[in-house]
């Protein structure tokens, strides 16, 4: 599988190099050179397939024998051992629950697959690869658990102080072993900027073998496209148009859906559902992309003011704003609207949503109310509501049951290291602890 940079300056690379490096030298983002459509036979039989069977067919199609069938099957089986069911609120409105993995967040799909894929590519390596990750919440826990004790890999996670939930923090900041955690006195954008700068630092590059497990890494996005296919396979009315509403922060999840569409999945419309960080909504309205400092909301994993994957979306559509508007709708909602959605859905359906899922629900409802389109509406539910229990319980006035595996981490000691928002301090830490 060959990939190119969205900046079209760095030379093309094969999949293993793209996964190991994370970013191209020109600071673009890696994209597959070809995404040929899946064969009609695949879609005719998809409703008979399990998640792992769909994963094997799609990834085999993408990789084109770059990884042997037996090795690919082994990677898939190690990465995916949990379901992604649809909870139907109404006949045409479903919640695609992506939180049944080990850390109760959708990022388990991408992080666990990337961990096993990188382990496969490093099987003959003697040097340690340093994974640098910025997280606004769920990425940190998914990556930490996906890479915990994976041979030849050391992970450094940066997260903004006081801007993630206690459960999120405990899931990634208590593990030790090959997982190191830095608590940065700043925002997610500050953390992401430090990680990106590290990849462009020639002195660091000479001293360490660096890679990233954020959604900037193509190995995170490819497996996230799989549950779009799986959701389609479970639809009771496949003849209706298919509309996905995606809670959007760094736009990796929505980009993965666009990959699925490129591969032939009959997606009619993608809805980018944003919180008060409305950069993409403004872009679709004006045609101008204007990043700005992120603002803190109750849907904190989406608090991104400069979404990296925006440039993958631009590349997919060849910088054609009008073409993007034909496929993607965008809406933005504030905390008050998000809280009201959580309350209303619980009152009407008895279903509990996390704040991110609530933003996705609002985007779906806004599009449906404005178009009156009869369709399959699927809202991507990105995290279990218990991960935001304090917020959700205060809204619905009910206790959210804590799964046993989360109870186990709540009493553990935080091992994170405090750090100022200072790249030089981050660099010194990496150089002194290699």
Q: Are 227 and 253 in contact (CB under 8 A)?
A: no
Residue 368 has pLDDT above 80, yes or no: yes
Q: Which residue has the tokens 């970013």?
A: 23
Contacting residues for 121 by C-beta, under 8 A, at least 6 apart: 16, 19, 20
DSSP class per residue in 49-99: --HHHHHHHHHHHHHTTSS-HHHHHHHHHHH--S---EEESSSSEEEEE--
pTM score: 0.88
107 tagged catalytic:
yes
Exposed, middle or buried by CB within 10 Å (0-12, 13-18, 19+), for 408? exposed
DSSP class per residue in 296-316: --SSGGG--SS-TTHHHHHHH
Neighbours of 285 (CB within 10 A): 11
Residue 136 has pLDDT above 80, yes or no: no
Radius of gyration of the chain (CA): 20
Confidence of residue 406 (pLDDT cuts 50, 70, 90): confident
Q: Are 257 and 244 in contact (CB under 8 A)?
A: yes
Q: Could you give the CA distance from residue 233 to residue 50 in angstroms, rounded to a whole number?
A: 9
Q: Are 83 and 119 in contact (CB under 8 A)?
A: no
The answer to which of 121-125, 392-396, 407-411, 415-419 has the lowest mean pLDDT is: 407-411
Cα separation values, 295 from 11, 187, 275, 286, 356, Å: 37, 9, 9, 21, 15
- CA-based nearest residue to 268, from 256, 277, 278, 260: 260
Q: Token digits for 377?
A: 């509406």
Contacting residues for 105 by C-beta, under 8 A, at least 6 apart: 98, 99, 138, 141, 142, 382, 383, 384, 387
Residue 159 has pLDDT above 90, yes or no: yes
Q: Are 153 and 119 in contact (CB under 8 A)?
A: yes
Domain residue spans in the chain? Answer: 82-105+221-396
Q: Could you give the CA distance from residue 131 to residue 140 in angstroms, rounded to a whole number?
A: 11
- CA-based nearest residue to 118, from 201, 46, 18: 18
Q: Dihedral sign for Cα 62, 212, 276, 85, please.
A: positive
Exposed, middle or buried by CB within 10 Å (0-12, 13-18, 19+), for 85? middle
What local confidence, expressed as pLDDT, does residue 138 receive? 73
What local confidence, expressed as pLDDT, does residue 401 receive? 86
Q: Token digits for 259?
A: 């990959």
Q: Could you give the CA distance from residue 203 to residue 390 in angstroms, rounded to a whole number?
A: 44
Q: Token digits for 39?
A: 């064969």
Which CATH number does the domain 82-105+221-396 belong to among 3.60.15.10, 3.40.50.1100, 3.40.50.2000, 3.40.50.300?
3.40.50.1100
Residue 404 has pLDDT above 80, yes or no: no
What local confidence, expressed as pLDDT, does residue 430 receive? 95
Catalytic residue among 20, 107, 269, 365: 107
Query: In this predicted model, what pLDDT tens digit does every residue of 210-243 receive, in sequence order?
Result: 887 777 889 989 999 999 999 999 998 889 999 9
């Amino acid at each position: 599988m060959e990939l190119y940079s969205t900046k079209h300056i760095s030379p093309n690379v094969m999949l293993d190099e793209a996964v190991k490096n994370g970013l191209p030298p020109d600071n673009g983002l890696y994209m597959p050179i070809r995404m040929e459509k899946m064969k009609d036979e695949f879609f005719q039989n998809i409703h008979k397939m399990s998640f792992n069977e769909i994963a094997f067919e799609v990834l085999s199609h993408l990789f084109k024998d770059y990884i042997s069938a037996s090795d690919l099957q082994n990677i898939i089986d190690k990465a995916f051992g949990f379901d992604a069911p649809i909870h139907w609120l109404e006949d045409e409105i479903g919640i695609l629950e992506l939180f049944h993995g080990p850390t109760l967040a959708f990022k388990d799909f991408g992080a666990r697959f990337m961990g096993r894929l990188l382990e496969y590519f490093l099987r003959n390596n003697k040097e340690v690869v340093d994974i640098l990750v910025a997280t606004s919440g769920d990425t940190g826990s998914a990556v930490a658990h996906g890479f915990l004790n994976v041979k030849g890999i050391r992970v450094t996670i940066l997260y903004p102080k006081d801007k993630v939930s206690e459960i999120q923090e405990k899931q990634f900041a208590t593990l030790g072993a090959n997982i190191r955690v830095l608590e940065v006195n700043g925002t997610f954008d500050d953390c992401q900027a430090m990680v990106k700068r590290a990849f462009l630092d020639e002195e660091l590059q000479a001293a360490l073998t660096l890679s990233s497990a954020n959604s900037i890494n193509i190995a995170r996005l490819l497996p996230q496209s799989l549950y779009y296919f799986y959701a389609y396979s479970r639809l009771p009315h496949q003849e209706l148009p298919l509309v996905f509403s995606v809670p959007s922060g760094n736009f990796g999840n929505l980009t993965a859906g666009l990959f699925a569409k490129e591969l032939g999945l009959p997606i009619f419309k993608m809805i980018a559902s944003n919180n008060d960080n409305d950069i993409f909504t403004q872009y679709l309205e004006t045609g101008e992309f204007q990043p700005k400092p992120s603002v803190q909301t109750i849907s904190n994993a989406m608090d991104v003011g400069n979404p990296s994957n925006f440039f993958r979306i631009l590349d997919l559509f060849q910088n054609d704003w009008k073409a993007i508007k034909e496929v993607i709708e965008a809406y933005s909602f504030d905390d008050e609207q998000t809280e009201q959605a959580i309350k209303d859905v619980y009152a009407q359906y008895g279903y509990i949503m996390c704040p991110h899922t609530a933003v996705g629900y609002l985007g779906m409802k806004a599009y449906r109310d404005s178009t009156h389109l009869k369709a399959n509406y699927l809202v991507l539910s990105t995290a279990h509501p218990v991960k935001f229990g304090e917020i959700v319980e205060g809204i619905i006035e009910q206790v959210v049951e804590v799964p046993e595996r989360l109870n186990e981490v709540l009493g553990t000691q935080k091992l994170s290291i405090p750090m100022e928002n200072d790249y030089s301090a981050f660099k010194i830490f990496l150089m002194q602890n290699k």
